[in-house]
Structure 1
């Protein structure tokens, strides 16, 4: 089992004693605790990079130690766990709509997006991973619709990350010729999808086992493969693609109960500061401040705001009877070919 697959085998709520960094001898008198509920893709960047660096900064600035209790899960499942009582102090999620679930539950402030960078902490791009040497000559979304090309991406009904992938395809189609072109591009690519796993990590594992010619995924996932395995994880950035933005928010009831608001605020500030952003870049993410990154941006990069926002896209594509259901399920609701 490769390292990424192994790291993905975590419980919905998992406390990692190994990350209880430098706890003061003799008990908790000299230590503060921060409980983190995060989506699974950011696990390695947090566990190996961000948390040790933040603990060191907290120690230097306050004279106190900090220990972390960590939970990693699919973004929607993590949001539902927090809404159902998991006592996270901060929520680091994949989708803005997952934070909105916590707002509706009365756990996160309604104005969470008014903070720095609109409440976001990470950026990435939707890209196409291909086989070494690019034998199928895949360079753009249209190439994924060619006859005989095997495509992978996870199921948007179970994976938040998959919605970024589908939105990128749909948005590129919108730029070509409106909704009809968007539906057509999505339908033609979906016709070449050979398997749809439940999560992005599972989809990546399937691709690594040799299934398919191309995978639609986060750029940072492929760069993480290179970092952890030391092997090529080749990909192309389509000329028109979607900017992925990952949100974070303080869980108000938890920090009030734990008395650690200052710690939670400092942690989110560290994530957005240049030091934290450089660590996230080392794990494949794009920085909030593009001046920190020498990598070029694609010429037709677009955002969820350009697509009308999450509410509009969720209603247009993913609601019952929306674009996804009409394409994938067919008129009688049975699973059928596009």
Structure 2
């Protein structure tokens, strides 16, 4: 009965999340394309910059956008206004491809930017930017209730009977793909301790964790909302997502697994739309601002690991580097991961289907 009630609440939360996201899209995106010939933009006194970002970046950007407005105003005399949309990373990328004319996008993973490249919206050279186009880093961690009542210490503990796990759906969420990559990669690392790197062992490890999953939410933010409401015992998520909530007074424990993946998040100018709108100059300046000390300090305050070396060193004591940390190259790179894990016959879909 308890489990049925829990699933009912997850369904209700999911529907509320969908309605809120839908309302946000309607308010943030015009039914007609954003027009280039805006009078204020033409006469140079005002420019509108359209931002399409993945949901977890929303809180940090709320502090960063006004800082950029002040800098740009002082530098050029021009007032920047923002239109903003926040969605799960994969959903946001599909919206931009489908006609949401974002000038700049911040996404959870480089694969979602590559989708924009294939659609002819972003240039192939986007990785030539500093830090290969990345603006923040993080790691996949485990969030537990205050005091860690179930004694969760690693991904292996998520396989225990009765442990209720939350993570989002990798079909819609870039953050979820990082979560699955972390669990699968941890399985590979564990198999190496027993002999050789064994994909079959890693798949079985992922299957055991997935059996305990309470719900697959649309985004990392939706999973956290469910966890805050009381659903589940453990949430698999970005480190920064938990640290930001703890800063707000939430009572959670952060568990850093021995083997977990380094997350890297890109930001790019959407070339086609920025050129159409005449906003390239301000769009490029905004992305550059995101890499600068002021914005990187804000990102660090919200629990992101800065790409700016000076800011990272200033915050190094806050960010433990796990002994078994690996990056996407350990899994063969994103092309290999998409083929191995997320293709129609990939590991993730086999796990879902119980194959």
Task: Kindly report which structure 2 residues correspond to 1:1-338, keeping only aligned pairs within 5 A, or say none.
Answer: 9=21, 10-12=23-25, 14-15=27-28, 29=43, 30-46=45-61, 48-177=62-191, 178=197, 179-228=199-248, 230-288=249-307, 289=309, 290-294=312-316, 295-331=319-355
SS of aligned partner of 2:305 = coil
Taking structure 1 as the reference length, the TM-score comes to 0.88
C-alpha displacement at 1:124, in angstroms?
1.1
> Is the Cα–Cα contact under 8 Å of residues 14 and 69 in structure 1 kept in the other structure?
no
C-alpha displacement at 1:117, in angstroms?
0.5
Alignment gaps of 5+ in structure 2: 1-12, 30-38, 192-196
- Which structure shows the bigger proportion of residues in helix conformation? 2
C-alpha displacement at 1:95, in angstroms?
2.0
Alignment gaps of 5+ in structure 1: 17-25, 332-338
Provide the rounded CA distance (Å) in 1 between the counterparts of 2:261 and 2:246.
22
Query: What corresponds to 2:33 in structure 1?
Result: none
> Is the Cα–Cα contact under 8 Å of residues 92 and 249 in structure 1 kept in the other structure?
yes
Aligned length: 317
Q: Deviations over 1:198-230 (max 9, x none)?
A: 2222221221222221110111111221233x2
> Is the Cα–Cα contact under 8 Å of residues 261 and 325 in structure 2 kept in the other structure?
yes
Provide the rounded CA distance (Å) in 2 between the counterparts of 1:256 and 1:205.
37
SS of aligned partner of 2:149 = coil
Q: Deviations over 1:123-164 (max 9, x none)?
A: 111000001111111111111112221111112223221111
Q: Deviations over 1:55-99 (max 9, x none)?
A: 111112222221111111121121112112221111111121111
Residues 63 and 7 (structure 1), Cα distance of their counterparts in 2 relative to 1, 3 Å cut = farther
Residues 238 and 8 (structure 1), Cα distance of their counterparts in 2 relative to 1, 3 Å cut = farther
Provide the rounded CA distance (Å) in 1 between the counterparts of 2:145 and 2:116.
40
> Is the Cα–Cα contact under 8 Å of residues 31 and 65 in structure 1 kept in the other structure?
yes
Residues 321 and 313 (structure 1), Cα distance of their counterparts in 2 relative to 1, 3 Å cut = same
> Is the Cα–Cα contact under 8 Å of residues 167 and 223 in structure 2 kept in the other structure?
yes
> Is the Cα–Cα contact under 8 Å of residues 88 and 220 in structure 2 kept in the other structure?
no
Aligned Cα RMSD in Å?
A: 2.1
Query: What corresponds to 1:335 in structure 2?
Result: none
Mean Cα deviation higher: 115-124 or 192-201: 192-201
Taking structure 2 as the reference length, the TM-score comes to 0.84
C-alpha displacement at 1:168, in angstroms?
0.2
Provide the rounded CA distance (Å) in 1 between the counterparts of 2:55 and 2:325.
25
